[in-house]
């Protein structure tokens, strides 16, 4: 089904199942420990051996020699694989560094060997006996230093980069009576998911099956096949449960490659869970940014000029953190400049993490808006409202499909009691706590992605949905079941959802908050076809049928749905594809974050007191699951504001705090009252579900709302994340 015109009325609009707060159908399996994750597929491979990954001890250079003799002779050892015996390996499309390094080393903790043994403990012990000598080369690990000569991005292949300009920024900024010019920095971040990268590889002849933990099955399958130099038809990837991804599992990672190589070498299934201390440096991370924002406005607060420049670094061949994305679209203003610089660093690979681009970009932009409001003597809500735009400010003939930012801000202000805020900082005390309130807009673009599904109506009346879509804890199983139940007119418990298997039709996958809307739209498309097949079997002429309560009704004729499959099951497969509606219309999601903090007047410790988010993000498929996405993202936002930071060792080129003891994230005890409101919306320009995403929206802006609340509490403006207590001095 190709989506080329705004969606008309369709069976989803009934909202008898879709739009309801159904509990997660995978919830009981996960909370009782009966959901078998990749490392726990004991039934599939009872004789699996265990792998232990050895990570490079240098950030850049060469392996001079490796001595494996002692390790090979250690108890239980079945084999050791290094680049020397792995044969020719390629790099997948989504990897910048090789997933098995050697002799050249691209980054610290790049995998250089896997030791396979009968037991996990034996593999670990033997790995300690491997002796590797390195020749260390000089690398660049200092972002500030590297940015001094870093080129602009955004050029065509092989051409110099460029700035994006609308109007004349410099002259408008120069002439503006009120202006801000400030620099903001965000540190490197680690995904820090609970489930590590984990894979179980099983070879049957030349056929490879890998149980793994991956957000994007088709990408992973293609990349694994490419890396190993085999046809992708010979590779099956299965990932029914993912214990957190956050962008770190968008791409094939070392665990799957090493499990496959190890299993081949020892002639047995091999399972590999990446050791926690390797995770921060072996995997990808969100790159640090240095962002300069300039805003010039009239005295009454109309933005005349806005510039956002961001610099970040990555491995050779990598990409920038696209932190200027939102500044192109969020606020009005005729004179605009955005630009990114990309430095080459020899730190581990940078890549997507939790709303890449907008998350760190909004952390900067929304402090800048707060600072500007103060300079103008305006309320920060009113300043944002004044600079709302219903069109793309760079392309004024392009409208937002929907944009209720103003309502989010105003409704949020009212519900939060924003009028109680004292605009003068450091005025409110509660015992030893300095109390402050902060606001920020939330913004994240919506992306269309092709997505397929297969739906079967069985003789027993049950509906089976199969798609390679993943559920990374987001509720995919549930919203897909809701979609199929609504479309076929059957109860939720008559739907079986099977996910995360490369044998199923290729879906959008889970990333960029595009999963929910696109994957359900693909299921919708397959259900439309299945309904047609049912209608034909039942002898209906019209396509205008109602599927409800197990009955199919057209005109004054009503037939049991099961009658259609009396002679055998019916299967339909289709996918949603998109025309260029998203060129005609800008598809984005909006919200407003309100935060109240207390800052200890004596120690500088910041504690959250209240959080509220009001969102406008198209139709909400399941308000309970969507709320969970939002409060999870808001919690991450608190982490990015107050705690999260990978500390770079600029001498040796690695992230020092590479485990969950050293990399701090918020826990439940850090987060008090959180409230989430969804405005009523249905975006007919987005897809037939009329839905967009919310998962990443919840994160974009909230860090700045926390920072603005801290400023309101203390009067100390901190522009360098995270806002740790020594920065108050």
Distance separating alpha carbons of residues 392 and 286, to the nearest angstrom: 27
Contact 163, 179 (CB under 8 A): no
Which helix (H) or strand (E) segment is 121 a member of?
A: helix 120-127
Instruction: Based on the shown chain and the rule CB under 6 A, indicate whether residue 512 belongs to the binding site for ligand MOS.
Output: yes
CB closer to ligand MOS out of 189 and 328: 189
Q: Is 669 helix (H, G, I), strand (E, B) or coil?
A: helix
CB closer to ligand MOS out of 353 and 581: 353
The residue to which tokens 């198209």 are assigned: 618
Contact 688, 576 (CB under 8 A): yes
Query: Please, which of residues 194-233 interact with ligand MOS by CB under 6 A?
Result: 215
Closest to 319 in 3D by CA, of 291, 294, 289: 289
Helix spans in 577-716 (H):
581-584, 623-642, 702-714
Residues recognised as catalytic: 696
Instruction: Based on the shown chain and the rule CB under 6 A, indicate whether residue 361 belongs to the binding site for ligand MOS.
Output: no
Q: Nearest distance from residue 607's CB to ligand MOS, in Å?
A: 28
Q: Which of 245, 489, 522, 618 binds ligand MOS (CB under 6 A)?
A: 245
Q: Which of 353, 428, 455, 638 binds ligand MOS (CB under 6 A)?
A: 353
Q: Which of 11, 102, 139, 247 binds ligand MOS (CB under 6 A)?
A: 247
Q: Which of 38, 146, 280, 352 binds ligand MOS (CB under 6 A)?
A: 352
CB closer to ligand MOS out of 81 and 633: 633
Distance separating alpha carbons of residues 729 and 727, to the nearest angstrom: 5
Token readout for 156 is: 């065509």
Instruction: Based on the shown chain and the rule CB under 6 A, indicate whether residue 250 belongs to the binding site for ligand MOS.
Output: yes
Instruction: Based on the shown chain and the rule CB under 6 A, indicate whether residue 357 belongs to the binding site for ligand MOS.
Output: no
Closest to 349 in 3D by CA, of 247, 460, 428, 202: 247
Instruction: Based on the shown chain and the rule CB under 6 A, indicate whether residue 187 belongs to the binding site for ligand MOS.
Output: no
Instruction: Based on the shown chain and the rule CB under 6 A, indicate whether residue 689 belongs to the binding site for ligand MOS.
Output: no
Closest to 304 in 3D by CA, of 186, 171, 502, 409: 171
CB closer to ligand MOS out of 247 and 604: 247
CB closer to ligand MOS out of 412 and 511: 511
Binding mask 562-591 for ligand MOS (x = CB under 6 A): ------------------------------
Closest to 444 in 3D by CA, of 313, 303, 637: 637
Instruction: Give me the phi and psi of 60, to 5 degrees please.
Output: -155, 135
Closest to 706 in 3D by CA, of 647, 635, 602: 635
Instruction: Based on the shown chain and the rule CB under 6 A, indicate whether residue 362 belongs to the binding site for ligand MOS.
Output: no
Q: Which of 354, 454, 531, 619 binds ligand MOS (CB under 6 A)?
A: 354
Residue span binding ligand MOS (CB under 6 A) among the ranges 180-188, 349-357, 462-470, 578-586: 349-357
What percent of the chain is helix, strand and coil (3-state, nearest 5)?
30, 30, 45
DSSP state of 710: H
Q: Which of 11, 196, 511, 632 binds ligand MOS (CB under 6 A)?
A: 511
DSSP state of 33: T
Residue span binding ligand MOS (CB under 6 A) among the ranges 8-16, 37-45, 275-283, 346-354: 346-354
Q: Nearest distance from residue 623's CB to ligand MOS, in Å?
A: 22
Distance separating alpha carbons of residues 247 and 93, to the nearest angstrom: 16
Instruction: Based on the shown chain and the rule CB under 6 A, indicate whether residue 283 belongs to the binding site for ligand MOS.
Output: no
Residue span binding ligand MOS (CB under 6 A) among the ranges 239-247, 267-275, 293-301, 586-594: 239-247
Instruction: Based on the shown chain and the rule CB under 6 A, indicate whether residue 356 belongs to the binding site for ligand MOS.
Output: yes
Closest to 275 in 3D by CA, of 77, 111, 502, 66: 111
Q: Nearest distance from residue 383's CB to ligand MOS, in Å?
A: 30
Residues in contact with ligand MOS, total (CB under 6 A)? 11
Contact 12, 483 (CB under 8 A): yes
Interface residues with ligand MOS (CB under 6 A)?
215, 245-247, 250, 352-354, 356, 511-512
């Amino acid at each position: 089904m190709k989506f080329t015109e705004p969606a008309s009325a369709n069976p989803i609009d009934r909202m008898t199942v879709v739009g309801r707060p159904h509990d997660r159908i995978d919830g009981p399996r996960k909370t009782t420990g009966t959901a078998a994750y990749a490392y726990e597929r004991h039934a599939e491979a009872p004789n699996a051996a265990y792998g232990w990954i050895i990570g490079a001890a240098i950030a850049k250079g060469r392996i001079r020699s490796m001595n494996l003799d002692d390790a090979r002779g250690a108890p239980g050892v079945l084999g050791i694989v290094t680049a020397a015996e792995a044969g020719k390996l390629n790099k997948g499309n989504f990897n910048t560094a090789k997933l098995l390094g050697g002799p050249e080393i691209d980054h610290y903790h790049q995998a250089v060997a896997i030791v396979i043994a009968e037991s996990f403990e034996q593999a670990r012990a033997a790995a300690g006996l491997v002796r590797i000598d390195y020749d260390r080369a000089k690398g660049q690990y200092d972002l500030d230093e590297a940015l001094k000569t870093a080129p602009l991005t955004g050029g065509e292949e092989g051409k110099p980069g460029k700035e994006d300009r609308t109007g004349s920024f410099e002259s408008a900024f120069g002439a503006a009576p009120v202006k801000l010019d400030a620099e903001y920095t965000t540190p490197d971040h680690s995904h820090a998911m609970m489930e590590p990268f984990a894979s179980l590889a099983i070879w049957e002849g030349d056929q490879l099956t890998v149980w793994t933990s991956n957000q994007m099955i088709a990408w992973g399958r293609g990349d694994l096949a490419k890396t190993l130099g085999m046809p992708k038809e010979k590779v099956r990837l299965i990932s029914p449960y993912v214990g957190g991804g956050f962008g770190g599992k968008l791409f094939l990672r070392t665990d799957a490659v090493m499990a496959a190589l190890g299993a081949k070498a020892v002639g047995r299934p091999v399972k590999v869970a990446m050791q926690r201390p390797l995770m921060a440096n072996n995997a990808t991370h969100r790159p640090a940014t240095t962002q300069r924002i300039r805003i010039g406005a009239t005295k009454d607060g109309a933005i005349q000029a806005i510039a956002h420049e961001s610099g970040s670094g990555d491995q050779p061949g990598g990409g920038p953190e696209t932190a200027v994305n939102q500044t192109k679209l969020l606020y009005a203003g005729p004179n605009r400049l955005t630009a990114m610089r990309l430095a080459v660093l020899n730190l581990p690979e940078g890549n997507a993490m939790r709303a890449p681009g907008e998350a760190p970009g909004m952390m900067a932009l929304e402090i800048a808006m707060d600072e500007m409001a103060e300079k103008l003597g305006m309320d920060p809500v009113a300043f944002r409202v004044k600079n709302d735009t219903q069109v793309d400010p760079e392309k004024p003939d392009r409208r937002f499909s929907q944009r209720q930012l103003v309502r989010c801000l105003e409704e949020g202000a009212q519900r939060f009691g924003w009028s109680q805020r004292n605009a003068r900082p450091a005025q409110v005390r509660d015992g030893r706590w300095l109390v402050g309130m902060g606001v920020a807009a939330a913004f994240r673009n919506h992306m269309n992605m092709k997505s397929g599904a297969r739906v079967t109506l069985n003789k027993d009346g049950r509906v089976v949905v199969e798609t390679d879509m993943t559920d990374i804890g987001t509720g995919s199983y549930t919203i897909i079941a809701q979609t199929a139940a609504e479309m076929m007119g059957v109860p939720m418990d008559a739907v079986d959802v099977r996910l995360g298997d490369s044998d199923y039709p290729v879906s959008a996958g889970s990333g960029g908050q595009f999963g929910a809307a696109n994957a359900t739209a693909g299921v919708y498309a397959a259900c439309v076809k299945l309904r047609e097949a049912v209608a034909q079997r039942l002898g209906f002429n019209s396509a205008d049928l109602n599927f409800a309560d197990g009955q199919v009704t057209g005109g004054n004729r009503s037939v049991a749905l099961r009658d259609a499959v009396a002679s055998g099951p019916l299967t339909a497969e289709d996918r949603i594809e998109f025309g260029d509606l998203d060129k005609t219309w800008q598809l984005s999601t909006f919200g407003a974050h309100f935060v109240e903090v207390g800052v200890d007047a004596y120690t500088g410790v910041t504690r959250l007191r209240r959080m509220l988010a009001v969102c406008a993000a198209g139709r909400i498929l399941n308000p309970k699951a969507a709320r969970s996405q939002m409060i999870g993202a808001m919690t991450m936002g608190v982490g990015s504001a107050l705690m999260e930071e990978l500390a770079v060792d600029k001498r040796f080129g690695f992230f020092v705090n590479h485990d969950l003891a050293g990399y701090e994230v918020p826990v439940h005890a850090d987060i008090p009252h959180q409230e989430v409101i969804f405005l009523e919306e249905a975006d007919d320009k987005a897809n037939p579900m009329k839905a967009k995403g919310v998962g990443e929206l919840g994160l974009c802006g909230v860090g700045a709302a926390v920072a603005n609340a801290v400023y309101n509490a203390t009067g100390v403006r901190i522009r360098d994340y995270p806002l740790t207590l020594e920065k108050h001095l």
